[in-house]
Structure 1
Amino acid sequence: MTEDEFRKLAEFLYRRTGMVFNEAKRYYVERRILDRMAATSSDTFAGYFIILRGEMRREVEHLINAFTVNETYFYREDHQLECLARDLLPDRVRSKRAGEAIRIWSAPCSTGEEPYSIAMWLLENWPLVDTYDIEIVGSDIDTRVLEAAANGTYGKRALMRLPADVIAKYFNQVDEHAWQILDDLRQSVQFSRVNIMETRETRPQGRFDVIFCRNVLIYFDDESRRIAAENLFENLLPGGYICLGHTESMSRISPLFEVCRFSDAIVYRRPKEGRA
C-alpha cells in the first residue's frame, strides 16, 4: 500500500469505528487488507477500495470484523463484578419495586464471556437475583463474535478463571476441549450489533442501570472517546453506572459523569435528575 492508500483506508475505518490506525500499525493493517482483497478477488487496493466506497454493506462488515480485537475470558476484572453485586445494584434497586427491570449492557461484548459472566456472577453472588427482572444485553460491532456469543461454546483458556463448580453448574462439556453455556443461560442474554460511535445505533437500545464498556476506548482518539462517552451517557438511566477497563478513565474523556469510588472498583455515574 502507498502512503495515500494507507491514509484513505485509515480514514475509512476511523469514520466507521472510531479506531485509530497509524503508521506504527501498517503491517497489522496490510496483512488484513491482503486477506480481504483475496476474499473479494481484488487484484489491487484501488479495486478493493472501490468495493468499500460503493458501500457494499457485507464487505464493510467483513472489513470491520477483521480489525476488531476480541481478547477476553470469563470473570475478567472480577473486582468490578464484586462491585456490581455489592454496591451498584443495591443502589439501583432502592428506587425499584420487586419485579421491576434491571438492565445491564455489555458493549462491546466480544464472544460473550462478559455478559455471561455477569449473569453467572449475579446468580452466584447476589441474593436478590430472583427478586427483579434482570435483562442483560451484549452488543458488538463485529458480527462474527456475536454469532460465537449466541452459540456460547468456549475452550479451556476462556474458562481458566472460573471455579470448577461454576463450570459444572452452567456448562455442558461438548468434547475434551470445548464447553457450551446451558441453554437457559444462553437464552437469558440478548445479543445485537451496535457501533457505540453511532447514535442511531445506540439510542434504540434504550436506557440501562449499568453499562460495562471495558477496554475499547483505548483504541480511540480523544474525539472518538468523547462521542462514544456522550452516546453511552444517553443510554444510562439517571443515577446509572458505567464500568470501564482498569487503564481507562472517564474523567479524562468527559465531564458528564460523576466519579464513584467503592471498595472494589472506581466506576462512573450519570448524575441523578435535578443534579448537574
Structure 2
Amino acid sequence: MTSRRADQLARANALSPLSSANLTMLCDFLYDRTGMQFGESKRYYIDRRIADRMAHRHLTAFADYYALLRAEADEAEQLINSFTINETYFYREDHQLACLSRSILPEIVASKRPGDKIRIWSVPCSSGEEPYSIAIWLLENWALVDAYNVEIVGSDIDTAIVAEALEAKYGRRAVMRLSPELIGRYFEPIEDGRVRLIDDLRESVTFAPCNITDAASVARQGRFDVIFCRNLLIYFDGAARVRCMENLLKSLLPGGYMCLGHSESMSRISANFITRRFPDAIVYQRPEQL
C-alpha cells in the first residue's frame, strides 16, 4: 500500500459517522440522481464510502463535502461510482440467452432482411460480462449471427466500471460458468491467472455511460430490438421503477423485447408490455401499436 493511500485511509477512519440529518440529505441526493434507495439500514456501507471520498478531497466536515458534491459534477460521478454494485459473471441467467437465440431473435428477423441491423442493449453492463456474454452466446448458438448486422451496446451509470468493461480483463470467478473450450476460444491469458477477452470480441460491443432514471441519458442510446435490464430494479422504489421503465419503453422499437432479472416482474411496474412466456424464459414485449 502506498503511503498516500495509507494516509487517506487513516483520515477516513478518523471521520465521524454521519448524523441522521446528514444521512438523510445524502440518501436524498443519491435517490434524486440514481433512483437507488439507501437509508439507515445501510449506514455502515454509506459511512465508509463517504469517509473515503471526504478523505480523498481532504475534507473533514460533511457540510463542506455536501457543498462540493452539489457544485462539482465530477465529484458526484465519483460518489455514485462508489455506491454502485457490480456483481456479475459470464453466462449469468443463461436461460435468457437461450431464449434470445431460440425464440426472440427468430421472431425479430421474421420482419427483417439479411443484412438489417439488430440492436441489443445490456444495461447495467457492469464490467462487461453481461454484453460480452450475449456476443459469445450468439456466436456459439445462433446460426444466423453473420447474416445480420448485430450491434450490442453495454451501458452503466458507473463510469469507472464502463472503463473496466473496455479493458475486458477478468479473474477466475467471472468465467466460472464458461467451459474450458469457450475460455480458450475467446480469451487470452494475462498476469496473475487472469484472462482478457480477445480483440475481435471486445470490438463487437460498444460501451457508453447511461443513467436509466434520466430520460435524456436513455434517449441518447437510440432504440433497440432487445433490452437486457437485469437485477437493477430491485434497488429502486416503486416510483423510480416506473420512471425507469417509461424511459426504457421509449427505447424499445415497436415489437421489441425486455428481459428482466429472475426476481423482477413487470406486473407492478408497467401495463404497457405484453408478457411473453417462451420455453426458456418469461420476457416482456412492447406492442406494435402503443
TM-score, structure 1 length as denominator? 0.98
Instruction: Select 2:197's aligned residue among 159, 173, 181.
Output: 181
Identity of aligned residues (%): 58
The code of the aligned residue for 1:212 comes to F
**SS in structure 2 at match of 1:37:** helix
CA distance in 2, matches of 1:187, 1:241: 24
CA distance in 2, matches of 1:28, 1:174: 33
CA distance in 2, matches of 1:4, 1:105: 39
CA distance in 1, matches of 2:53, 2:193: 30
User: Which position in structure 1 is the counterpart of 2:282?
Assistant: 266
Question: Which ranges of structure 1 fall in alignment gaps of 5 or more residues?
Answer: none
Query: 1:74-153, aligned counterparts within 5 Å?
Result: 74-153=90-169
Instruction: Select 2:245's aligned residue among 192, 213, 229.
Output: 229
CA distance in 1, matches of 2:212, 2:280: 27
Instruction: Select 2:57's aligned residue among 13, 31, 40.
Output: 40
User: Which position in structure 1 is the counterpart of 2:187?
Assistant: 171
**SS in structure 2 at match of 1:201:** helix
Structure 1 runs, 4 residues or longer, greater than 4 Å off: none
User: Which position in structure 2 is the counterpart of 1:31?
Assistant: 48
Instruction: Select 1:4's aligned residue among 21, 30, 52.
Output: 21
CA shift at 1:175, angstroms? 2.9
CA distance in 2, matches of 1:229, 1:243: 12
Q: Does 1:70 align with 2:86?
A: yes
**SS in structure 1 at match of 2:119:** strand
CA distance in 1, matches of 2:193, 2:92: 20
Deviations 1:101-142 (A, max 9, x none): 000000010000000000000000000000000000000000
The code of the aligned residue for 1:28 comes to Y
Deviations 1:57-113 (A, max 9, x none): 111110000100000000000000000000000000010000000000000100000
The code of the aligned residue for 2:171 comes to G
Deviations 1:197-229 (A, max 9, x none): 001110121110100000000000000000000
Superposition RMSD in Å = 0.7
CA shift at 1:176, angstroms? 4.3
**SS in structure 1 at match of 2:190:** strand
**SS in structure 2 at match of 1:70:** coil
Question: Which ranges of structure 2 fall in alignment gaps of 5 or more residues?
Answer: 1-17
Instruction: Select 1:154's aligned residue among 164, 170, 176.
Output: 170
Deviations 1:32-60 (A, max 9, x none): 10000001111111111010121x11111
**SS in structure 1 at match of 2:145:** coil
**SS in structure 2 at match of 1:158:** helix
CA distance in 2, matches of 1:212, 1:253: 16
User: Which position in structure 1 is the counterpart of 2:271?
Assistant: 255
**SS in structure 1 at match of 2:175:** coil
TM-score, structure 2 length as denominator? 0.93
The code of the aligned residue for 1:252 comes to R
- Report if aligned partners of 2:70, 2:76 keep a CA contact under 8 Å in 1: no
Deviations 1:138-160 (A, max 9, x none): 00000111011000010000000
CA distance in 2, matches of 1:127, 1:265: 20
CA distance in 2, matches of 1:152, 1:227: 31
CA distance in 2, matches of 1:195, 1:74: 23
**SS in structure 2 at match of 1:251:** coil
CA distance in 2, matches of 1:210, 1:132: 15
Instruction: Select 1:190's aligned residue among 193, 196, 206.
Output: 206
- Report if aligned partners of 2:162, 2:208 keep a CA contact under 8 Å in 1: yes
